[in-house]
Amino acid sequence: MKIIAVTACPSGVAHTYMAAEALKKACAKAGVDCSVETQGSIGIEDALTDADIAEATAVVLTTDMPIKGAERFEKLPKIRLTAGQVIKSAEAIVAKVQKELG
């Protein structure tokens, strides 16, 4: 199982990276492969590759602002949450994906 994500927030600083880190930690704890692209104030970092997307079980997209290149994920199950929700509930998000798509 692999979860991919794109995190972004209006200021492109704290919440973007906090959400990415929370999701990475939750996935590591659950033994789930995870790749996260951030779209912050300094641009896109750790861009998801075509291989990442092809291998993914689901994608988490933050909804605080439009995600650049969201059309890349049209064939994947999507979980759309605010960055704050991802920060607060990353373990529950991963558990839900495992339960429903694992």
What is the DSSP secondary-structure string of 17-60? HHHHHHHHHHHHHHT-EEEEEEEETTEEESPPPHHHHHH-SEEE
pTM of the model: 0.94
User: Which sign, positive or negative, has the C-alpha torsion 65, 39, 21, 17?
Assistant: negative
Q: Are 74 and 86 in contact (CB under 8 A)?
A: no
- What amino acid positions are annotated as catalytic residues? 9
What is the per-residue pLDDT for 42? 85
Q: Are 35 and 20 in contact (CB under 8 A)?
A: no
Mean pLDDT by 10 residues, the chain (102 residues): 95 89 98 96 94 98 94 97 96 96 85
What is the per-residue pLDDT for 102? 78
